[in-house]
Amino acid sequence: MARSKSSNAWLQEHVNDHYVHMAQKDGYRARAAYKLLEINEKDKLLKPGMWVADLGAAPGSWSQVAARAVGEKGRVFAMDLLEMPFIPGVEFIQGDFREDEVLARYATLLGGRQVDLVICDMAPNISGNAVTDQARSIYLCELALAFAQDHLKPGGDLLVKVFQGYGYNEFLAAMRETFTQVVTRKPKASRDRSPEMYLLGKQKKG
């Protein structure tokens, strides 16, 4: 017998929920960890000894993945507007990424050194107005790209969450100007109904 639409929706949600159970079992703070793990499996972004910037890090699941991957010789520098409990191997600054003073503090943490990888799972607080929310989202993406242009090594990579809509094509063009290759990723851990996807800029141009 064919399932109803509501039954299918429930089943899909239930199947996806297994990431929540996996996160609890594996010690990750959020199911989002599996988005980064899947992309990393495909693209081999994280390597031992790397310096990684995690923008919009709270509650910290991406920082956890990064810290485990880079090991004791690597370093992870996290930033978020929200408080984030301590993670071994992660240095954290709490503040608004949009403020110059916060960026300056973050740059001080880096000690003038450029990072090997920038990861950004930031999203704006949703207002319910699709136009406003999309504009805010693209603005955060642009800030992440500007950060990468300033603080990412030549040859380094940027992984950033995006939502397709107003401003997306312009942002994609800016990514292509900065990186040798730009690819899209939609990990299985992203819920099907979510419009989110990820742009991966590979090999920052010198």
Query: Widest CA span of the chain, in angstroms?
Result: 63
Catalytic residue at 161? yes
Is 96 annotated in some ligand binding site? yes
CA distances from 85 to 49, 93, 201 (A): 23, 11, 29
Q: Is 43 labelled as part of a ligand binding site?
A: no
Catalytic, out of 47, 73, 153, 161:
161
User: Which residues 6+ apart lie within 8 Å of 169 measured at CB?
Assistant: none
Residue 176, CA atoms < 13 Å, CB-side half-sphere: 8
Q: Is 157 annotated as a binding residue?
A: no
- The binding site consists of 60, 62, 80, 96, 121
> Which residues are known to be catalytic?
161
- Annotated binding-site residues for S-adenosyl-L-methionine read 60, 62, 80, 96, 121
